[in-house]
Amino acid sequence: MAGNGSDDLLSIIIRSFAGQEDKVVFPYPSYMLYKTLAELQDSMACDVDFTEGYSLPENFLVKGAKVTFLANPNSPSGTMIPSQEISRIAAQIDGVLVIDEAYADFAEDNCLSLVGQHRNILILRTLSKSYSLAGIRLGFCIAQEHLIQGMMKVKDSYNVDRLSIAAVVAALDDQKSMKAHVEKIKETRLYLTKSLQEMGFFVYPSQTNFVLARCMKGVSAHTLYQALKSRKILVRYFNLRRLDDCLRITIGTREEIDILIQHLKELITTTQSKAMTACCP
């Protein structure tokens, strides 16, 4: 089933399978729209904290949940839950399990094979990331027929336009270009990860087109964000629990990443020098 981007499909799913006061489960931190959609539906939003290493805790399975959302790979951490574990979760829950695979083309694995094994799994894909078609607004849901039939009754009549369909068909036919683009991003992702680690950042293992880097002790993520912004370099800062000491950095070109690294080194050196001066005047 196609939709006006995967966000449209998420909205259709919540309206199809969750009602007032029904439990909607999702991990934290993850894509914030899950909570927003649950609240709009007057459902009970149940966020369950990831472990420190971004694996799923034992209490992730919430009894009676109508919808369980799982971004895999996750945003903003970039980390991934193995498909075998997701299959185990699907077998243990009563409601639907929505696997949001927006970044799957950048990952080493995906959950498409689970659709045929589980009647309650829905997988979402988008053209916004690996195909660079965010403005086209087209995503699709893969699930067994009985789930799609229920969603078709809820969706808007004309939620996908013909121009978007034509653009997406052309993009899907050109797998060679997409895969070459993805491989280049993976190479640059590894380069950025190693460079950040050498500077002292902790970098979560990413399976996406970005990395989440936790700042070293004595260096403020917000200060780095503001300083980079003043130099016309934009990274993502989250003023949220468990994320306020981190920066999320999208993988650009090698040239862009080199500029970022250069400025980060300068800023960190300046910060650490000031700290040393303050300690030893």
The three-state secondary structure class of 55 is: coil
Give yes or no for a contact between 195 and 227, defined as CB atoms under 8 angstroms apart. no
Residue 278 has pLDDT above 80, yes or no: no
Mean pLDDT of all residues belonging to the chain:
96
Average pLDDT over residues 174-191: 98
pLDDT tier at 271, thresholds 50, 70, 90: confident
CA separation for the pair 198, 84 (Å, rounded):
33
Instruction: Write the pLDDT tens digit of every residue in 65-110.
Output: 999 999 999 999 999 999 999 999 999 999 999 999 999 999 999 9
Instruction: Write the pLDDT tens digit of every residue in 204-219.
Output: 999 999 999 999 999 9
- Which ranges of the chain would DSSP assign to H, the alpha helix? 6-17, 33-40, 83-92, 145-152, 162-173, 175-199, 221-230, 254-279
Within 10 Å of residue 158's Cβ, how many Cβ atoms? Answer: 8
The pLDDT of residue 234 is 98
Give yes or no for a contact between 199 and 268, defined as CB atoms under 8 angstroms apart. yes
pLDDT tier at 36, thresholds 50, 70, 90: very high
The pLDDT of residue 167 is 94
- Rounded to 10°, the helix 162-173/175-199 angle is 80
Tokens representing 255 are: 């040239």
Percent of the chain clearing pLDDT 70 (strictly above) = 97
CATH architecture, domain 176-279: Alpha-Beta Complex (3.90)
CA separation for the pair 112, 99 (Å, rounded):
10
Within 10 Å of residue 142's Cβ, how many Cβ atoms? Answer: 18
For the domain spanning 2-173, the CATH number is 3.40.640.10
Planar angle of CA 175, 176, 181, nearest 5 degrees: 95
Average pLDDT over residues 10-23: 98
pLDDT tier at 281, thresholds 50, 70, 90: low
Structural domain boundaries of the chain?
A: 2-173, 176-279
